[in-house]
Structure 1
Amino acid sequence: MRRPRTALLAALLLTWAGTASAVADAPAARPARSTVRAAAQVPDGVTAGVAVFDRRTGTFTEQLNASTRFRSASVVKLLLALDVLWNRGPAYTVPDADRARLEPMLRSSQDAAADHYWAANGGSAVISRMVTRLGLSDTAPPPAGYEGYWGYTALSARDTVTIYRYVLEQAPAPVRDFVMGNLRRSTRCASDGFDQHFGIAGAFEQPWAVKQGWSGRYAAGTCGPQGTAAAEPAPAAAGVDLTRPALHTTGTVGADDRAIVAVLTLHPAGTSYGKAYTDVGRLTRSLNVPGAARPAGTWYGTWGEGVNVRRAPSTGDDALTRLPAGVEVLVGCQRRGQVVTVPPYTNDWWAYLPQYGGYVSNIYISSPDNRLPDVPECGDRQP
């Protein structure tokens, strides 16, 4: 079935509102499939600070606004964890009470754990201590009037590299192994329901370790029904932009944590989570990251909201997660499965998304034809 052109599609979708059970809302038009840019580029409307450090050569391969201060969002949880673990010896074992908080804080970005350590360890004093201990150049506590908001800590891309270099090269082995081990176990769904496997986690094959950050009023429901926009104050003017939606990806990539990557971004007010997620992914994929392996497949845009990723190509099979609305996804292969109808579309082709480990109906992939033209069929040994 050949799909109608954009203008006709917009009219058809307007008449269809409320009839599809698989998605809550549909956009007026389906975006075209993107192409990955060959050189490092910042998507239109995005403000970015970038640093990529090659630990093998001791040099930066990328630096863009590397000293610019951004609000840290949850990336500051690295400093909260290091403050708790500071000055520990080679025989140190993390106490059970701290392990119960630190593990979900590092793996799933749990805010309750960060709230606990911020209150228990002196709030802004944590940041002041870590600035001195690590020799950070651009990091600063939250501005006056926002002392209780740990996510408003100022942070730069180059300071983020310094933090990771301390963990990898100077911290006692038990601290290094605990922090990096948890970052390698980053969960797709964060504790607040947001899909946090954007940027590094989507751009490169494992091994990687990530600590992500997001702040702002994004659309809810990116991983499941619990996803909600974080409640934040309406900030006053300050030296660091506290208003535009922030989305950060930081961590290490490659064998022996060869490359340290820090991508800090701000997006125009009203940007959807899926759009920010996609833009950070495109920027991260364009970077020169030594030792990184790029995943095989073709990147496509998607449409719809609340689209389920299924374990098998059938709406009756288990839902593994939900796609952020309008996010770009990597398609590894495709196969025929259950016929899906979302008026005016009918399609029996399903796309396998290797980074999610499941399938979505090709109806939700931004392509003019039912069968994606440049994606192979899944073989017998493929999922």
Structure 2
Amino acid sequence: MKTVNSAPGGRITRAARRRVVRAGVCAAALAALVGTTATAASAEAPSPPPAVQADVPAGVTAGVAVFDRRTGTFTEQLNTAGQFRSASVVKLLIALDVLWNRAPDSLPAADRSRIDSILRGSDDTAASTFWANNGGGAIIDRMVPRLGLTDTARPPSTHPGFWGYTALSARDTVKIYRYLLDSAPAAVRDYVLGNLRQSTRCATDGYNQHFGIAGSFNRPWAVKQGWSGFSSGGCTSPAATAAKEPRVDAGTPAGAHARTPASADAVDLTRPALHTTGVVGAGDRSIVVVYTLHPTGTSYGKAYTDIGRLTRSLNVPGASRPAGTWIGTWGSGVRVRTQTTTTSGAVTTLPAGAEVLVGCQKRGQQVSAPPYVNDWWAHLPQYGGYMTSIYLSVPENQVPGVPVC
């Protein structure tokens, strides 16, 4: 049991136990829910059954597609034509428009730096600069026929400057990645995917963007994520609350409000959105796209956890899954540190309530979060650091079933 601070060595009271468990469930229950331990071997998953395997959490609306490039077939398809507001996934189209018929080396240094920041850190300011300078919604109008997109549409006429309100679907996003991998000039392919492989854990606005694909599979992967409608996203700048949708007029030319064949007018612009897209496995074997909308008021940590569970449920050929135990957390501003002390350097902060992958545990500095104390620390391999186990949603100080480091 987690030790109560007022009674060292004693057992937690029934009321205190309920407090510990309220933010999550014990490790054993998590194992039953999401499958906590996974091998790091890269063996292919068996052929999927006819039914979709995607495990969509309650209350979540999802659009899912997994395309196996080796066989040329989809292993997962769910609501693939459904339109979602793209949030930052549209930055793929913004970048490709800049690079159309141009080699990356020919770009002005400032533009190349902006694209680097867009693709690695999901830089909103850089995206807004290209949106304003290159015609706003006309960017989308150009890219739709170039890539043969069917569900993609510029932002609704009521929000022309909101590039994140561009409509995208799972199947169109697969087409974007297939273009990059199979049709784009080699220099463009290597430049764009090279940047996506260097996705930073913390985006430029302080959101932790290594959810979904980045949290579910070992490298190699390359990702472009999207989020919209949350107030904060943890990471090294937990106070950052900048919205992902810039409220700027794109300065679009006359006729910019004309609709493309698809329309974004009916796309949900209110519910919190969290999306993970990219390629996974040696040789970029699989293209994975997961779009999600969450109930109004959902916290970033809850959405982060739900999209992680959904992504881990997918049949992704060639993917290697990290070993460890997925466990929920409670509290806010929980730091991941380089060592098992509160004075060691902070690697980052966790989104409040997010699940984490625990590789092993060891004793360190005793930490107090009244009425609890705990001297066990959990090693989080995906972060390369430790968090105090006092904030793990399990009733014991030492997590059952997790090896000692």
Cα separation, 1, equivalents of 2:286 and 2:233: 32
> In the alignment, is the contact (CA less than 8 A) between 2:363 and 2:376 conserved in 1?
yes
**Shift, 1:195, TM fit:** 0.2
Q: 1:144 aligns with which of 147, 151, 157?
A: 157
Pairing of 1:147-226 with structure 2 (within 5 A): 147-219=160-232, 221-226=234-239
Partner of 2:315: 288
SS in 1 for 2:270: coil
> In the alignment, is the contact (CA less than 8 A) between 1:252 and 1:259 conserved in 2?
yes
Note closer, same or farther for the CA distance 1:280–1:135 as it changes in structure 2 (3 Å cut).
Answer: same
**Shift, 1:97, TM fit:** 1.8
Cα separation, 2, equivalents of 1:92 and 1:133: 22
Partner of 2:356: 329
Cα separation, 1, equivalents of 2:240 and 2:317: 34
- Residue 71 of structure 1 pairs with residue 81 of structure 2: no
Partner of 1:19: none
Note closer, same or farther for the CA distance 1:98–1:231 as it changes in structure 2 (3 Å cut).
Answer: closer
Partner AA of 2:124 in structure 1: D
> In the alignment, is the contact (CA less than 8 A) between 1:218 and 1:271 conserved in 2?
no
Partner of 1:58: 72
Cα separation, 2, equivalents of 1:122 and 1:140: 14
> In the alignment, is the contact (CA less than 8 A) between 1:216 and 1:244 conserved in 2?
yes
Cα separation, 2, equivalents of 1:37 and 1:348: 27
Pairing of 1:219-298 with structure 2 (within 5 A): 219=232, 221-230=234-243, 238-298=265-325
> In the alignment, is the contact (CA less than 8 A) between 2:95 and 2:115 conserved in 1?
yes
Partner AA of 1:61 in structure 2: T
Partner AA of 1:51 in structure 2: A
Q: Aligned residues, how many?
A: 360
SS in 2 for 1:114: helix
Cα separation, 1, equivalents of 2:34 and 2:356: 16
**Shift, 1:2, TM fit:** 4.5
SS in 1 for 2:175: helix
- Residue 32 of structure 1 pairs with residue 25 of structure 2: yes
Partner of 1:44: 58
Partner of 1:133: 146
Partner AA of 2:300 in structure 1: Y
Residues 254-292 of structure 1: CA deviation (Å, up to 9, x unaligned): 001110000000000000000000000000000000000
Partner AA of 1:68 in structure 2: G
Cα separation, 1, equivalents of 2:311 and 2:272: 18
**Shift, 1:246, TM fit:** 0.3
Cα separation, 2, equivalents of 1:123 and 1:200: 29
Structure 2 gaps, min length 5: 4-11, 36-52, 248-263
Note closer, same or farther for the CA distance 1:239–1:5 as it changes in structure 2 (3 Å cut).
Answer: farther
Partner of 2:110: 97
Cα separation, 2, equivalents of 1:252 and 1:309: 27
**Shift, 1:94, TM fit:** 3.8
- Residue 355 of structure 1 pairs with residue 368 of structure 2: no
> In the alignment, is the contact (CA less than 8 A) between 1:218 and 1:245 conserved in 2?
no
**Shift, 1:37, TM fit:** 4.0
Cα separation, 2, equivalents of 1:163 and 1:273: 27
> In the alignment, is the contact (CA less than 8 A) between 1:253 and 1:261 conserved in 2?
yes
Cα separation, 2, equivalents of 1:314 and 1:301: 21
Partner AA of 1:128 in structure 2: D
Q: 2:395 aligns with which of 347, 358, 368?
A: 368
SS in 1 for 2:225: strand
> In the alignment, is the contact (CA less than 8 A) between 2:119 and 2:199 conserved in 1?
yes
TM-score under structure 1 length normalisation: 0.90
SS in 2 for 1:375: coil
Structure 1 gaps, min length 5: 14-26, 379-383
**Shift, 1:151, TM fit:** 0.2
Note closer, same or farther for the CA distance 1:109–1:233 as it changes in structure 2 (3 Å cut).
Answer: closer
Relative contact order, CA 8 A, sep 6+: which one is greater?
A: 2
Cα separation, 2, equivalents of 1:28 and 1:299: 15
Partner AA of 1:80 in structure 2: I
Cα separation, 2, equivalents of 1:223 and 1:260: 29
Partner of 1:81: 95
Residues 281-317 of structure 1: CA deviation (Å, up to 9, x unaligned): 0000000000000000000000000001000000010
Partner of 2:137: 124
Residues 66-107 of structure 1: CA deviation (Å, up to 9, x unaligned): 000000000000000000000135x95443121110001000
SS in 2 for 1:349: strand
